[in-house]
Amino acid sequence: MNPSQWIDVTPENFNYSLDHFVIPSHYSKDLESILIPHGVIMDRVEKLAKIIVAQSVGPMVCCCILKGGHQFFADLVNVIKKLTTKDGKSIPLSLEFIRVKSYHNDESGEVKVSLTEEECKEFEGKNILIVEDIIDTGKTMVKLLEKLRQYKPHTLKVAALLLKKTVNSNGYVPDFVGFAIPDAFVVGYALDYNEYFRDLDHVCVISEHGKHKYAI
């Protein structure tokens, strides 16, 4: 093997090349590098599930933020439902799916959620776990939490797979974080760029070629 085929995990060179793992051939020119391989994501999801269950206080409503959160949500719930608390109790779960649209360009920075008023009222007194793919600026999540708090849940926590280290952050940090990532546009594991790349298992950095190819 020549050195370009090794995985160099020394910090100064940390980078998985596209040749190190399998990626769909239709994306071969559209990615810069693999940031988090799928297997590492799965191992981390297992640990996050354990941490979440250790802190849980009874029945939980898991809310998937669509569309980007769907893969993380599915894998996380799959582990949580098989775990038990310290006293050996399994946790009753109910599942909710929310599409969130944010309007950062207008002054209010308002978010619109796809739930009806009746559905939101169901949150009263419940333990809510919001499951999101990525916290970037943090604006959408802060607004969403403001809105959901009005319905008086018993607890309201957020699990995000990724937290981007960006100067544009408003400082919001979720209760549970999978990975802190550099300020790059990432795709895969259900995260998209204009609806592309959701069919990619690893979290990858998009290339300039990919940005142009799938620009709208």
The verdict on 133 binding Mg ion (CB under 5 A) reads: yes
Nearer to ligand HPA, 44 or 198 (CB): 198
The verdict on 186 binding ligand HPA (CB under 6 A) reads: yes
Cα 97 from Cα 86, distance rounded (Å): 29
Q: Nearest CA to 44 among 135, 176, 132?
A: 176
Kindly state the number of chain residues that form the binding site for ligand HPA, as judged by CB under 6 A.
7
DSSP string, the chain: --GGGS---SGGG--B-GGGS---GGGTTTEEEEEE-HHHHHHHHHHHHHHHHHT--S-EEEEEEETTTHHHHHHHHHHHTT-B-TTS-B--EEEEEEEEEE-TTSTT--EEES--HHHHHTTTT-EEEEEEEEESSSHHHHHHHHHHHTT--SEEEEEEEEEE--TT--S---SEEEEEE-SS-EEBTTB-BTTBSTT-SSEEEEPHHHHHHT--
From the list Mg ion, ligand HPA, none, pick the one residue 174 interacts with, judged by a Cβ distance below 5 to 8 Å according to partner type.
Answer: none
Nearer to ligand HPA, 71 or 127 (CB): 71
Select the span of 19-27, 34-42, 99-107, 186-194 touching ligand HPA (CB under 6 A).
186-194
The verdict on 32 binding ligand HPA (CB under 6 A) reads: no
Assess whether 30 carries a catalytic annotation.
no
Residue from 48, 134, 148, 204 binding ligand HPA (CB under 6 A): 134
Select the span of 51-59, 89-97, 114-122, 179-187 touching ligand HPA (CB under 6 A).
179-187
Active-site pick, 30, 133, 136, 201: 136
- Give least dist CB 6 to ligand HPA, A: 28
The verdict on 68 binding Mg ion (CB under 5 A) reads: yes
User: For binding to ligand HPA (CB under 6 A), which residues are involved?
Assistant: 68, 134, 136, 185-187, 191
Residues forming contacts to Mg ion in the complex (CB under 5 A) are: 68, 133
Residues carrying an active site annotation: 136
